[in-house]
Chain A
Amino acid sequence: MLKDITLGQYFPGDTPVHRLDPRTKLVCVILYFIALFTANGPCSVGLVFLTLAFAVGISRIRPGALVKGMKPLLFIVIFTAILNLFFTEGEVLFRWWIFRVTDQGVYRTVLMVLRIFLLVSSTFLLTYTTSPLQLTDGMERLLAPLKKVRFPVHELSMMMSIALRFIPTLIEETDKIMSAQKARGADFDTGGLAKRAKALLPILVPLFVSAFRRADELATAMECRCYHGGEGRTRMKTLKMGVGDYLTLLLYCLVVAGAIVLVRLGL
Chain B
Amino acid sequence: MDVITFDHVGFRYPDSPEPVLKNIDIAFSGGSFTAVLGHNGSGKSTMAKLCNAILTPTEGAVRVKGMDTRDDNSLLSVRRTVGMVFQNPDNQIVASVVEDDVAFAPENLGVEPSEIRRRVDNALRRVGMYEFRLHAPHLLSGGQKQRIAIAGVLAMQPEILVLDEPTAMLDPYGRREVLATVEELRAETGMTVLLITHHMDECINADRVVVISDGEIALDGTPADVFSRVETMRDLGLDVPATTDCAKPGRMCRCPRCR
Contact = CB atoms under 8 A, between A and B. Distances in A.
B79 A223 contact: yes
A228 B108 contact: yes
Contact of B113 (A168, A224, A235): A235
Contact of A225 (B49, B88, B100, B104): B104
Nearest to B153: A225
A164 B138 CA distance: 12
Contacts of B105: 225-226
B54 A236 contact: no
Interface string A164-180: 11001100100000000
B38 interface: no
A132 B96 CA distance: 7
A168 B136 contact: yes
A162 B94 contact: yes
A224 B79 contact: yes
B134 A12 contact: yes
A235 B152 CA distance: 15
Given A133-B96, A165-B96, A172-B138, A221 B91 contact: yes
- Which residue of A161, A224, A232, A234 has the most chain B CB atoms within 10 A of its CB atom? A224
A214 B104 contact: no
A224 B54 contact: yes
Interface in B71-102: 76, 79-80, 83-84, 86, 88, 90-97, 99-100
Contacts, number: 106
Given A218-B91, A221-B86, A224-B83, A164 B96 contact: yes
Nearest to A135: B96
Interface in A200-257: 213-214, 217-218, 220-228, 232-238
B120 interface: yes
B138 A220 contact: no
Nearest to A9: B136
Interface string B143-160: 000000100110010000
A165 B86 CA distance: 18
Interface in B88-131: 88, 90-97, 99-100, 103-113, 116-117, 120
B40 interface: no
B116 A234 contact: yes
B108 A226 contact: yes
Contacts of A236: 99-100, 103, 106-107, 113, 116-117, 120
Interface in A125-163: 131-133, 161-162
Contact of A226 (B79, B92, B136, B138): B79
Nearest to B114: A236
B92 A235 contact: no
A10 interface: yes
B84 to A, nearest CB: 4
Nearest to A221: B92
Contact of B52 (A169, A172, A224): A224
Contacts of A233: 107-108, 110
B80 A226 contact: yes
Sorted nearest first, the 7 A-B pairs with minimum C-beta distance are A221-B92, A217-B91, A225-B105, A236-B103, A236-B116, A224-B84, A226-B108
Interface of A: 10, 12, 131-133, 161-162, 164-165, 168-169, 172, 213-214, 217-218, 220-228, 232-238
13 contacts: A133-B96, A165-B137, A214-B88, A217-B88, A223-B54, A224-B79, A225-B105, A226-B156, A233-B110, A234-B113, A235-B113, A235-B116, A237-B113
Given A12-B97, A218-B94, 18 more contacts: A10-B96, A12-B134, A131-B100, A132-B95, A161-B96, A164-B96, A214-B91, A220-B49, A220-B86, A223-B54, A224-B79, A225-B156, A226-B108, A226-B156, A232-B110, A233-B110, A236-B106, A237-B113
